[in-house]
Structure formats: C-alpha cells, structure tokens
Amino acid sequence: MTQLTVSERLTAADASPAMSTLGTRPDASHLMPAGPTLDLAVVDTVAGLAALEADWNDLYARAATPNQIFQQFNWCWHWAAHYATGPDAPRRIAIVTGRSDGRLVLLLPLAVQTTATLRELQWLGEPVSQYGDVLVAPEASHPAHLLAAWSLVVKATRADVANLRKVRADAPAVLLMERTGAVVTATEDAPYLRLDGEQSFAGWEERRRPRALKNRRRQARRLADTGPVTVERMTATPEAGDAAEAAVALKRETLADRGEFAPALNDRRFAAFFRDACASSERPTGATVHTLSCDGKPVARKILLETTAASFLHVAVYDPAFERCAPGALLLENVIGDCIEKRRATLDLLPPLHAYKMDFADGVVTVSDYALAISTRGWLYMNGYLRLRRRLKAAITTLPPSVRRLVTRATT
C-alpha cells in the first residue's frame, strides 16, 4: 500500500513529540491513559489513498462533523488526481492512518511540498480546501495518539517545516497544534448563518435590517428591468463542471483587474479540480454550482459544498458590468432560500470576511494558520519567507488599484 512502508505500533508511552523539533515543547500527555493502542502507518501514494476509500468513508460517517466536509474521501481523491499525480505534481501525499483492531480510527491527512530541497508539510487539500483538520474517532482522540501520528509523519517525510493553514477554532486539529507548539501566523474570521430554526425564506427575511431588505429589493427590480432573471442549480453533471470552470475563470479575471494577488487561481489545476469536483457523478463531492442569469447571460455564480446538514460557500463571483444590481448578493439570497427549504442548519460563508457577508451573517468563527519549524532551515523559512510574504501581501493591498494590477501581473 505504501512505498515508505513505515509502520509502527506505538503505545501512549511512545507518543511524546520528537524533542529535536524546534519550537516543540514537552508534553505530559504520555503519562495519562490513552485508551486503545493504535497501529500507525504512513500512506504516501495515490494508489494507497484510493485503497483507503472504504475505511475512510466508514471513519468519516462515524466521526466527522459537518465542518469537516473538506476531509471527505471523494474531495481528497479529486485533489490527489490534480495536485499529487504526474511528474510535475506540486505535492506528494503523506497521510497517517491509525487503526485499532484493524479498524481505522484516526486519519491525519497531510501532503509534502518540496521547494528546492526544503520539505514543507501542508494539509492534504491545499490550496482548494478551506478548512484543514484531522479525522479521529472518540476512542482515539487522546493527545497521545495525535502526537504519535505527528511524530511518525515528521520522521517519515523528513519535513523541515509545517505550514498548516485554515484551522477552525473548534477543530480537533487545534489540540494537535497546541501540543506540538505550533505558532499562529495569521487569523481571519469565517462568517456563518444559523438556519436551523427557520421555517421559510420570508421568516428569515423578517430578521434582516429593514434598510438592507429595501436595498436588496431595489437591486432585484433594477436587474429585472435589464431582462428576465433565472437561477439554476447544477451538481454532478458535465454542465456543472463547465459552469464551475467558467466561474473560476471569471474569478481569476476579476481579481486580476482589481490587482489582487491570487496564485492558487492562476494554477491551471485549480479550475481543472473544480470542473471535476462539480461534474463527477462517480465520486460526487457535494460541490454545486448556482448560477444567476439575466436575459440568458450568467451574471453571478457560486460554487458551494452541500450536505444534508450544512452548506459551504466556496467560490463566489459576479460580472462587474452588473455591479449596480448586486447580482452576487441576490444569488446569495436565493442560496439561503434553498438552504432553508432543504432544512440545512448552517450556511458557512467561509473566510475571508467581507462586508457583504456580514450583511447576512449571524456570527463568525476564528480560523487560524499555524506553522512549526522542524529543522534549522525550516526555522529560517518560517521566520523569513512566511513572514515576509504576509507583509508583502498586506503592503500590496494599500497600493492604488492601478499599481496593484501592475505588481500582481508581474508576479504571476
């Protein structure tokens, strides 16, 4: 199943993190009862990931929360097909599996990106996943097991640094981040809507500010004056794949015109991934494309991940020519109505926080990026390049739009 063939049987007493890791602090969890002994192994090939399908789906069904949608097998399988396959693949898989009596009870889904000779641990799913996390059954959730899995993958991959982005404050992975001594390098807020108590869209509207409601209705009339307005929802069809690819293309063009730096979207794999994730009926991900059209022309699109319990707004874009009509907000209202009709409890608008999202949101959850130096080179990378990159991105946002466009186009 693996090329590394790294498999160790670790008890709680073996589970303290590697003390050679820079930034790691001692942990006393190995002195506490950790429950069943786990058999840990590292899976580092696409074939090995595919072989986990049944066990992965079983663990996901038993242990996953709605917010772990990006840790579902099908989503990760499509990611591997685009980001970990082929001679020019930018990442290789490094998944830690933990089994108790043969049953999968822990899964730490990671990948390694190598730049020059520096090896960087990332969440499997980077950069298309919006939340990174570990899947763990209750009986395996003791810190000792998480730390044992971490120690094994660090040793197996010989990683220099970990750069684990977009961890929700309520994620099980937070415990692992804290116990390894990982430091927070950035935070942002993810707005969300609570919809579990709503019986109708009209009932939800009553909770909104009258002024916001009045503005939205005026914008809807303005758009309708331009031509007939229709909304279409597509998932798991070739047409959905075409619409997703068009949405990513428009998003890329819009950000370039604004001078916003978006290297992930400029990678051809990003659009290809979303095409397959939205089109596949054999391995459906729940990725759905909602399109608002005016006079037969698409003017706004949103790509969501949808489950029976929750929806997650991933890619959102609108045609700037229709900005005065606020087609993105109008389509979001339609999405909210759809979620209420399907009795979904939450609609997660995902980071980053934008003002228009807060016009709809009931609250926010903090999402953090974590980094951990594992070697001296990793320490230099973490405290040099990662910090400099964040400062450069922040500095670019303060430049005039015309200058931002020149800078971002010169660096993509």
Joined together, the tokens standing for residue 57 give 């789906």
**What HEC string does the chain produce?**
CCCCCCEEEECHHHCCCCCCCCCCCCCCHHHCCCCCCEEEEEECCHHHHHHCHHHHHHHHHHHCCHHHHHHCHHHHHHHHHHHCCCCCCCCEEEEEEEEECCEEEEEEEEEEEEECCEEEEEECCCCCCCCCCCEECHHHCCHHHHHHHHHHHHHHHCCCEEEEEEEECCCCHHHHHHHHCCEEEEEEEEEEEECCCCCCHHHHHCCCCHHHHHHHHHHHHHHHHHCCEEEEEEECCHHHHHHHHHHHHHHHHHHHHHCCCCHHHHCHHHHHHHHHHHHCCCCCCCEEEEEEEECCEEEEEEEEEECCCEEEEEEEEECHHHHHHCHHHHHHHHHHHHHHHCCCCEEECCCCCCHHHHCCCCEEEEEEEEEEECCHHHHHHHHHHHHHHHHHHHHHHCCCHHHHHHHHHHCC
- What pLDDT does residue 4 have? 39
- What pLDDT does residue 384 have? 87
Joined together, the tokens standing for residue 289 give 């494309």
Nearest to 264 by CA among 153, 166, 391: 166
Structural domains of the chain in order of their starting residue, each with its CATH number:
7-185+368-410 (3.40.630.30), 196-344 (3.40.630.30)
- What pLDDT does residue 197 have? 83
- What pLDDT does residue 123 have? 98
pLDDT under 70: residue ranges of the chain: 1-35, 389-412
Q: What are phi and psi of 239, to 5 degrees?
A: -65, -40
Residues 6+ apart with CB under 8 A from 331: 231, 290, 291, 292, 300, 301, 302, 318
pLDDT tens digits, 249-297: 999 999 988 878 788 999 999 999 999 999 999 999 999 999 999 999 9
Within 10 A of 242 (CB to CB), how many other CB atoms are there?
15
- What pLDDT does residue 408 have? 53
- What pLDDT does residue 212 have? 84
Specify the pTM.
Answer: 0.88
Burial of 298 (0-12, 13-18, 19+ CB in 10 A): buried
